[in-house]
Structure 1
């Protein structure tokens, strides 16, 4: 293989921190509104049950748009480059936040979520960007750095959002829109292109079909079984994400500040593990074993979340569940190694489509369950039933991973 010129190599290495900053700004804006959006929905809902159902609908629509648009953005980035697709997506996110800031009704909030879901699919392009500029051996660690950027975004975003919401419930949305504008300027003037013209592929409509993208991923040699592992694990996580803020409100009386603080803790743990410990743990355990250990940690944590009677216990569980943060980059690393470099955009789009399917299904599981128990006494164990379902979904992923670990292609992974 021919070596890149030193100037080109330096440029490609410098692109990694550039894309991490872009992802950080995106997640920061997203994190700002997480502890606040349920409260905004509550302003127009009649009761807690209605609030849960509406929030579940908004989350499902958001996931549906990601499912439809993720492979499209991935395929377009394979054809035209990563940079223009990222810029267009960041602009759309800013529009989403601005609509939420001015939303006079649930209908407008729904429209904003449609736009936001379509443009938030750019994370598949960010993953493809990282795949462009890293070797196969370093990709799992690089995906971990993106996970760390997510973690930092969740460290700062929810705390800032909760603080701003004390001043005015709409203020976090204006702030998030401003961040998106700043992110667009950063991308326009600083972010370099990662995919040279000679490595670009022709746009194929089949690659923009979300179902075709999923079928193509499942057909990859030695990867099909990992798709099921990834799907069940992500479904458990997205059920948790869907109900976390409302659950804290219903069971512990949390407001935006308290919800922001809990998400702050989750972000700290994720950033420390994926940004600092991930490389060491992958070298020690390998990707397959690391993934399984993360799953076991998550199963125990979900059960404990459902049984917790005091709010401080939730913080202890978040901290104790730090090993769960290694599972997602480990799975992504295993899958990425099996994919041709020219198809990284399509493959990452397909993974994001799996996330989007789970984002559609998760609210349909979590929101109705939470609505049914929203009026029960806070000490009733049934309020935590949604987390027991999460534990069951994660257990399925773990059992599937155990079956795969016996295969020769994964024994050294």
Structure 2
């Protein structure tokens, strides 16, 4: 759980300082920095997508302990590299390495399965998700506060966290893969594109998978653009950016952890998906056009209400497939969300750059949020049509 939390903290720690750091290293305008930020975010997501199954396969062959510990050591060295970076290509290299080392969530989840009885696994997998959420909330706050000591300070602290966790793991972490459970590494099983084949084999849920994908593309506007948007529209400092991201993360946790149950009971799965889209559309448009930072912070928890969409959609799709296809469905959903996180940063930061550059036809830092609202509208139309006769 500490490993997963530090993975998430490492991502969140650096978000508030990235606009300033990219400009410091590469020069250029905020619009150009946003494009580079999108490229780095996409690179990170691609590496996670490609190496998640590889890390899991390696841990089946060589054990969970060496994979986790080596990844933590490399992660610490990667943060040192980024702290010392003096060129954009070094930052990009750091994101490539960081994406690979952060792919160990699959190994941490496998470790949790190893040490849990079958009836305990679902709840303990939830603990892994909670650890990731906690790290992503804590990371931006700490990163924003550390930015007061310079744009490199969050990287040094992240390196220290990874090193400390590696030392702790070396002392206390026991190997859970035995000779009976060990299996050889197979590149075919490590193919991250394998789950995508499931899309064609689940025709009853294909339109809903499209809605799921559209949601994640729009949702990714927040981590992709928020620090650049806050700096351009409100001249926010890194600490304010970090606190605002934490507000969004806490709101998401409260909504998905507590509010989702009464909403599902009151509205049903289809009604919950529709309500989530309506809240998303309204809040995204509001964030795009308001000029008061106070109102943007008021709208942030409302925007997080869209977090009720994925679990409700999963419920609808799960009911539409056979019991022996549930794993196949979850694999397809994982692939869809991963691909969305690869695509969205490029699209959203490019849109931001087009509307904040000196030659922009209209200065509108909130343009990516209008694009996300448009995507949510398409998703709403698809859910209304696709579930008309269903739940």
Query: 1:49 is matched with which residue?
Result: 31
Distance verdict in 2 for CA 1:123–1:287, change over 3 Å: farther
1:36 to 10, 17, 22: 17
Query: 1:209 is matched with which residue?
Result: 191
Q: Verify: 1:305 aligned to 2:305, yes or no.
A: no
Cα offset, 1:243, TM superposition: 1.0
Q: Verify: 1:22 aligned to 2:18, yes or no.
A: no
Query: 2:164 is matched with which residue?
Result: 182
Cα offset, 1:343, TM superposition: 9.8
2:256 to 274, 287, 299: 274
Query: 2:372 is matched with which residue?
Result: 390
Question: Structure 2: which 5+ residue stretches go unaligned?
Answer: none
Query: 1:324 is matched with which residue?
Result: 306
2:76 to 68, 77, 94: 94
Please give the alpha-carbon distance, in whole angstroms, between the structure 1 residues aligned to 2:322 and 2:125: 15
Please give the alpha-carbon distance, in whole angstroms, between the structure 2 residues aligned to 1:76 and 1:288: 40
**3-state SS of the aligned residue for 1:207?**
coil
Please give the alpha-carbon distance, in whole angstroms, between the structure 2 residues aligned to 1:75 and 1:341: 23
The 8 Å contact of residues 273 and 323 in structure 1, kept in 2 or not, is answered as yes
Cα offset, 1:359, TM superposition: 2.8
Please give the alpha-carbon distance, in whole angstroms, between the structure 1 residues aligned to 2:201 and 2:40: 32
How many corresponding residue pairs?
Answer: 387
Cα offset, 1:244, TM superposition: 0.9
Please give the alpha-carbon distance, in whole angstroms, between the structure 2 residues aligned to 1:336 and 1:188: 40
Query: 2:94 is matched with which residue?
Result: 112
Please give the alpha-carbon distance, in whole angstroms, between the structure 2 residues aligned to 1:85 and 1:155: 26
Please give the alpha-carbon distance, in whole angstroms, between the structure 2 residues aligned to 1:165 and 1:148: 26
Query: 1:359 is matched with which residue?
Result: 341
- TM-score, with normalisation over the residues of structure 2? 0.82
Q: Verify: 1:238 aligned to 2:220, yes or no.
A: yes
Distance verdict in 2 for CA 1:322–1:342, change over 3 Å: closer
Question: What is the root-mean-square deviation of aligned Cα atoms in Å?
Answer: 3.8
Cα offset, 1:149, TM superposition: 3.2
The 8 Å contact of residues 32 and 353 in structure 2, kept in 1 or not, is answered as yes
Q: Verify: 1:71 aligned to 2:53, yes or no.
A: yes
Please give the alpha-carbon distance, in whole angstroms, between the structure 2 residues aligned to 1:183 and 1:325: 31
Question: Structure 1: which 5+ residue stretches go unaligned?
Answer: 1-18
Please give the alpha-carbon distance, in whole angstroms, between the structure 2 residues aligned to 1:96 and 1:336: 40
**3-state SS of the aligned residue for 1:382?**
coil
Moved more, 266-275 or 80-89: 80-89
Distance verdict in 2 for CA 1:277–1:217, change over 3 Å: same
Cα offset, 1:391, TM superposition: 1.1
Cα offset, 1:259, TM superposition: 0.7
Cα offset, 1:341, TM superposition: 9.5
The 8 Å contact of residues 227 and 241 in structure 2, kept in 1 or not, is answered as yes
The 8 Å contact of residues 113 and 121 in structure 2, kept in 1 or not, is answered as no
**3-state SS of the aligned residue for 1:312?**
helix
